[in-house]
Chains A and B, each alone.
Chain A
C-alpha cells in the first residue's frame, strides 16, 4: 500500500516536472496573461474605474467578488477560532 502511494506521488511529480517545461518563462511578455489581460488593465483601468492605482482597480473593482470572498474567509476563520477558544475558557 505504501509502495503504491510512493508510486502515485512519483508519477504526479514526474508529470508536473514534465509539464513545467512547456510553461512560458517567468515574467515573459508572450505569456497568455501578459498578452491581453495586463495590457487591458493598464490601458483601461484609469478611464473605466477612475482610480490611478491599477492594483486597487483590479482588487476592488474588476475582482471585487474575489475580495469579498477573501474578507469572508478571514472573518470565518477567526470566528471559528474564537468559538474554539471560548470553549477552552469555560473549561477551567
Chain B
C-alpha cells in the first residue's frame, strides 16, 4: 500500500455509492428542516462528512472542494445569514423580520403553501449549512495538514 488511494474497491464504494448518497441526504436534511427533523446545522455536518470522506478515500484530485473553497463557503454562509437579516431593514421591517423580504407575494404567500417567512427561514438555513460545512471541512484539512500540498495555495 504505497498509494493510499489505489484500492479500486475503496474508490468505487466511496465515489459511486457513499459520497453521492451522503450529499443527496445532506440536501434532503436541509430542505426538509422546515417540515421534519433537520436543518442547517445537521445538513452542514452531513455534507462535511462527504467532504472529509472524499479526502480520506479519493485523494487530493477528486476532493469535492478545495481548502480555500471551504473557507470561502464558511464566510459566504455567515454573510448570507447576516444579509437575510439586514435586507428587511430597508423594507420597513426589523432585523431578521423575514415578512419584509422583497419577494413577490400575495398576502405573504409566494405560491402554494410557501410563505415569505419560510423563504427567509430557508435562506438562513442555507447560510448555516454553508457555514458549518465550511468550518468542519477546513478544520479537518488544517488538522491533517492537507493545505500544505494544496495546488492553489490553500
Question: Interface residues, chain A, CB within 8 Å of chain B?
Answer: 49-53, 55-57, 59-61, 64-65, 67-68, 71-72, 74-75, 77-79, 81-82, 85-86, 89
Closest to A74 in B: B135
Compute how far the CA of A85 lies from the CA of B154 in the bound complex, rounded to whole angstroms. 13
Compute how far the CA of A56 lies from the CA of B38 in the bound complex, rounded to whole angstroms. 8
Q: How far is the CB of A44 from chain B (nearest CB, A)?
A: 13
Q: Is the CB of A51 within 8 A of B34?
A: yes
Given contacts A49-B117, A65-B95, A68-B82, is CB(A75)–CB(B135) below 8 Å?
A: yes
Compute how far the CA of A68 lies from the CA of B33 in the bound complex, rounded to whole angstroms. 17
List residues 10-40 of chain B with CB under 8 A from any CB of chain A.
33-37, 39-40
B120 surroundings in chain A (CB, below 8 A): 61
Q: How far is the CB of B112 from chain A (nearest CB, A)?
A: 11
Q: Name the 6 nearest CB pairs between A and B, nearest first.
A: A50-B115, A78-B135, A51-B34, A85-B142, A64-B96, A60-B121
Given contacts A51-B35, A56-B34, A78-B138, is CB(A89)–CB(B85) below 8 Å?
A: no
From the candidates A55, A74, A89, name the one contacting B132 in the complex (CB within 8 A): A74
Q: How far is the CB of B88 from chain A (nearest CB, A)?
A: 11
Question: Interface segment, B1-9, B57-65, B122-130?
Answer: B122-130
Q: Contact mask B85-104 → A, CB, 8 Å, 1/0?
A: 10000000001101000000
List residues 103-143 of chain B with CB under 8 A from any CB of chain A.
108, 113, 115, 117-118, 120-121, 124-125, 127-128, 131-132, 135-136, 138-139, 142-143
Could you list 21 A-B pairs, sorted by A, with CB under 8 Å?
A: A50-B115, A51-B35, A51-B117, A51-B118, A52-B34, A52-B35, A59-B39, A61-B120, A68-B82, A68-B124, A71-B81, A71-B127, A72-B78, A74-B132, A75-B78, A75-B131, A77-B135, A79-B74, A81-B142, A82-B138, A82-B139
